[in-house]
Structure 1
Amino acid sequence: MSPRYHAGSQAGRVIAVVADIMALILGLWILMYLLDANRANDFVQFIHDAARWLAGWSHDLFTFDEEWARVVCGYGLAAVVYLFVGHALAGRIYRRS
């Protein structure tokens, strides 16, 4: 195995893991929202702040009457995009090396 091959596969793995973590944070916030987690809790507040930052571009993108539907679609769309783009980019980097 050449060092170049190893570096490309490592970079691809890192990108895929980062995309997975981003989607996990978004998914965790959706779950916490739907289960009505205590927003005064520091962990819940951290996840909410991180998810809000990650989904800043898709937050309130949809105008459903029900707030839970806006949260699921807005944050869910961001999670799917991060997964799709992150894994596509990781695969491309992996194939190039």
Structure 2
Amino acid sequence: MPTHTRVHARGSSQAGRAVALVADVMAFVIALWILLYMLDANQGNGLVDFIHDAAGWLAGWSYDLFTFSREWVQVVVGHGIAAVTYLLIGHAVAGWLYRR
């Protein structure tokens, strides 16, 4: 394998890992908020408030996609859609970068 091809492959692999890591972190933040919500974490706590704000920002596009009468279902589905979407798209892009 020529040197320039090996360098390009290594760069694509590193980019793929970076994309997958970002997608994983985004999904983790959202999943952590769902868990904290389900455990009725103290929303006056600074860390809980930060996670809530970050998850709310990340899931802002999906939160009101569907409406449910029970708030906990709204939180799980509204945020869950965003978490799964970030994982699927992030890992699809990462896989594409790995193959380049």
Q: 2:75 aligned with 1:71, yes or no?
A: yes
TM-score normalised by the chain length of structure 2: 0.93
What are the superposed Cα offsets for residues 8-55 of structure 1, whole Å, 9 maximum, x if unpaired? 000000000000000000000000000000001000000000000000
Q: Tell me the equivalent position of 1:88.
A: 92
Paired positions, count: 96
Counterpart check, 1:18 vs 2:13: no
In the alignment, residue 10 of structure 2 is paired with which amino acid? Answer: H
**2:35 alignment partner, one of 31, 37, 44:** 31
Per the alignment, residue 58 of structure 1 pairs with: 62
4+ aligned runs moved over 4 Å, structure 1: none
C-alpha distance in 2 between matches for 1:17 and 1:23: 10
Percent identity between the aligned chains? Answer: 60
Residue 53 of structure 1 aligns with an amino acid whose one-letter code is W
Q: Quick one: which of 7, 24, 33 aligns to 1:3?
A: 7
Larger Rg: 2
Structure 1: gaps (5+ residues)? none
